[in-house]
């Protein structure tokens, strides 16, 4: 069991953790990053589908202290973003400690330090780390979630979470059910259709559909106008461009798109071609929940019965922070989301921080990282 003392312990080496590391480096503050995977940005490197692009223009997605190269397109594809992250890690000399799963973290009042225990997945050894500050940067998308459904284990075809989907090639000519109508679900459904799969998508709740232009316009307007006004304008534009989708099985929520993003973490759907597939009925919408499965037959709560060859769950993620973070009754709720409202969400007590949990994407994570580094520097100067 080895024991290490660090000024700052960062949990997670995704874009949030890398942002913190760079911001601390910029302030000459020592740190260590503990990462459970064997690489940084594992969600992007290992668990993202091929066609993934950033939906926001690149200026909203930069990590701190290093802009995207001018040659990069406005909307950056996965490969370019990974190239940027590689350059980022190299530039700031970030060296995460990989294969370390944090199982326990608690503040010790006596020595005024965070005591962190992590399992070395290579050796099985439990390692201990002491740090004056602890940063939770494990992200909103840490643990893939698949709902429990009666009979799911009896399904005879392929059942995967969206993190295991790369492209639709292997599903050609299959009947595929996509469960979940967020951006991942809509894009995966589009990719399946483009590769010749007969695709249905389960849309269990109303969604806002916006174009990339609308979304970026909304973010720009949020600098000058209230969220309520911006939401009203976005809904008006969406109605003008996409019309009433109710007859196609897609309803529009009563609450505005930006309000829902901040309050529930429910992002508006950015249309990259799926809307056209719904209108042409190439993509079949099933606006109800699954009752149960029996073999490859799926019974829905409206009484419809359909047969599928494969099911892809685009049902999001859960966070497991509550399982290892002890003694925190202020910063994070049981679901791993900050209890405090923006912009006070990032700072807890006793040197505890969180980054990338404000439901404001990469831009929000960058802001959080800068706040944390500045706060740590301020506290250290007072000691």
Per-residue pLDDT of the chain (383 residues; tens, 9 = 90+): 656 678 999 999 999 999 999 999 999 999 999 999 999 999 999 999 999 999 899 999 999 999 999 999 999 999 999 999 999 999 999 999 999 999 999 999 999 999 999 999 999 999 999 999 999 999 888 889 999 999 999 999 999 999 999 999 999 999 999 999 999 999 999 999 999 999 999 998 999 999 999 999 998 999 899 999 999 999 999 999 999 999 999 999 999 999 998 888 889 999 999 999 999 999 999 988 999 999 999 999 999 999 999 999 999 999 989 999 999 999 999 888 899 988 899 999 999 999 999 888 898 999 999 999 999 999 998 76
Supply the pLDDT for residue 65.
97
Return the axis-axis angle of helices 78-91 and 15-26, rounded to nearest 10°. 30
Strands (E), the chain: 3-11, 31-34, 100-108, 113-120, 126-136, 143-144, 158-161, 175-179, 198-202, 209-210, 269-270, 284-286, 290-294, 297-300, 305-307, 310-313, 317-318, 352-354
> Is-above-0.95 flag for pTM?
no
Strand partners, 116: 105, 129
Residue-level pLDDT at 3? 63
């Amino acid at each position: 069991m080895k024991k290490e003392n660090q000024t700052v312990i960062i949990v997670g080496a995704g874009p949030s953790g890398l942002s913190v590391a760079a911001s601390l480096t910029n302030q000459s503050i020592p740190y260590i990053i503990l990462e459970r995977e064997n690489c940084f940005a594992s969600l992007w490197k290992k668990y993202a589908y091929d066609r993934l692009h950033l939906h926001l223009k690149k200026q909203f997605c930069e990590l701190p202290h290093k802009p995207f190269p001018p040659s990069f397109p406005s909307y950056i594809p996965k490969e370019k973003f990974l190239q940027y992250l590689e350059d980022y890690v190299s530039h700031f000399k970030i060296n995460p400690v990989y294969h370390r799963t944090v199982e326990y973290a608690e503040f010790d009042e006596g020595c005024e330090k965070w005591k962190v225990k992590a399992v070395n997945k290579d050796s099985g050894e439990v390692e201990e780390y002491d740090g004056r500050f602890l940063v939770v940067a494990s992200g909103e998308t840490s643990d893939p979630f698949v709902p429990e459904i009666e009979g799911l284990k009896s399904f005879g075809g392929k059942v995967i979470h969206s993190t295991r989907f790369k492209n639709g090639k292997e599903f050609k000519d299959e009947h595929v059910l996509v469960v979940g109508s967020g951006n991942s679900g809509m894009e995966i459904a589009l990719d399946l259709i483009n590769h010749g799969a007969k695709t249905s998508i389960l849309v269990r709740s109303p969604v806002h559909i916006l174009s990339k232009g609308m979304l970026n316009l909304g973010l720009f307007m949020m600098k000058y106008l209230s969220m309520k006004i911006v939401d009203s304008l976005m809904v008006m534009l969406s109605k003008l461009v996409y019309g009433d989708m109710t007859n196609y099985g897609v309803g529009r929520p009563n609450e505005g798109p930006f309000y829902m993003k901040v309050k529930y973490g429910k992002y508006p759907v950015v249309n990259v071609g799926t809307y056209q597939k719904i209108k042409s009925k190439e993509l079949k919408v099933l606006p109800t929940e699954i009752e149960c499965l029996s073999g490859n037959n799926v019974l829905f709560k409206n009484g419809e019965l359909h047969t599928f060859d494969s099911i892809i769950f685009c049902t999001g993620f859960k966070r497991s922070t509550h399982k290892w973070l002890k003694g925190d009754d202020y910063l994070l709720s049981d679901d791993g989301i900050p209890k405090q409202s923006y912009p006070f969400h990032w700072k807890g007590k006793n040197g505890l921080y969180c980054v990338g949990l404000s439901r404001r994407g990469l831009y929000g994570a960058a802001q959080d990282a800068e706040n944390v580094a500045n706060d740590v520097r301020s506290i250290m100067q007072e000691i």
